[in-house]
Structure 1
Amino acid sequence: MMRFFTALTLAACLPLGLQAQDNDPASRPDAGASLRGDDPDLRANRGLSSRPGSIVVLRGLDKVTARTRDFEIPIGESVEFGALTITAQYCRKRPPEETPETYAFLQVVDRRTDGFGVDIAGEMVYSGWMFASRPAQNPLEHAIYDVWVLDCRP
């Protein structure tokens, strides 16, 4: 009697779909397919929604003089800002219908002189990604200068 009562209680607690097990594989949903449908990299006919840019727009701050300067750098080229040489390697901007984000891969070299005005080998002070929406996440850590991403243009 106890065994019958336990089986009856267990059957009453299970959802209706789990009470009757169907052993036909064609009738069961493929869990892997539903998980793969959530993976943005595996969606069929779905590429990246943004395109790489050709010009990075940056803003630089000289902390000594408290002056800012906006400048544009074509991808693969460099610009000098104070004692820094900033090279833009890549940038991308999401389209307006998605969560806004602009990011760029930058390399920054602090130029050095020997005291007589002759340039010597500079020091790489930054090489990495900067994000326009989170400038403090991967900042350029320099005593005199701050640099951050504003935009990426085609």
Structure 2
Amino acid sequence: EEVPDEEAAEEEAVAETVEEPTSTVRRRLPVAMVQAIDKTTAETMQFEVEVGGRPVRFAKNLIFKVRACEVTGANELTEDAIAYLEIGVQPRSVQPSNEARQVFKGWMFASSPSLNGLEHPLYDAWVVGCKSR
């Protein structure tokens, strides 16, 4: 008479009770929420920038463009919003046809604003989150 393999039965029971982790991908959202401060006037403003949309001007000189805005998936350790920004400086007196001088280009993380932030003597800016329209 054959005796059932106890180890195989245990493994089978364990396999039935273990749930596969939820593998959700990052969600891309159409709007980035950005906060910026003018260090000379202490003017702080939170504003929205549409992904791939028209640039948004902060204070007199900063121009913000957002290329992507994502929120982390449910299976990631930290909830976060991550945005790819291009920030330029362009004084209002300059003709609009002139390109802004780029001062930042890259990913910003809402949970770690200092990780990859704007380094500018007059301004600070960071991503606050991503949202739907």
Q: TM-score, normalised by structure 2?
A: 0.72
> One-letter code of the match for 1:94?
T
Aligned: 1:67 with 2:43: yes
Where do residues 62-101 of structure 1 align in structure 2 (5 Å cutoff)?
62-77=38-53, 78-82=55-59, 83-95=61-73, 98=76, 99-101=78-80
Match of residue 134, structure 1, among 112, 119, 126: 112
Query: Displacement of 1:94 after TM fit?
Result: 1.9
1-structure distance, mates of 2:30, 2:115: 24
Provide the secondary structure at the position in 2 that maps to 1:130.
Answer: strand
Provide the secondary structure at the position in 2 that maps to 1:92.
Answer: strand
Quote the RMSD (CA, aligned, Å): 2.2
2-structure distance, mates of 1:52, 1:64: 34
Gaps of 5+ in 2: 1-21
Provide the secondary structure at the position in 1 that maps to 2:28.
Answer: coil
Is contact 1:76–1:89 with CA below 8 Å preserved after alignment?
yes
Identify if the C-alpha distance between structure 1 residues 72 and 52 changes in structure 2 by more than 3 Å, giving closer, same or farther.
same
Provide the secondary structure at the position in 1 that maps to 2:90.
Answer: strand
Match of residue 108, structure 1, among 81, 87, 90: 87
Is contact 1:59–1:68 with CA below 8 Å preserved after alignment?
yes
Q: Which has the higher helix share?
A: 1
Q: Aligned pairs, how many?
A: 107
Greater Rg, structure 1 or structure 2? 1
> One-letter code of the match for 2:85?
L
Query: Displacement of 1:139 after TM fit?
Result: 1.0
Query: Percent identity at matched positions?
Result: 33
More displaced, 126-135 or 93-102? 93-102
1:51 match:
27
Q: TM-score, normalised by structure 1?
A: 0.62
Query: Displacement of 1:47 after TM fit?
Result: 5.4
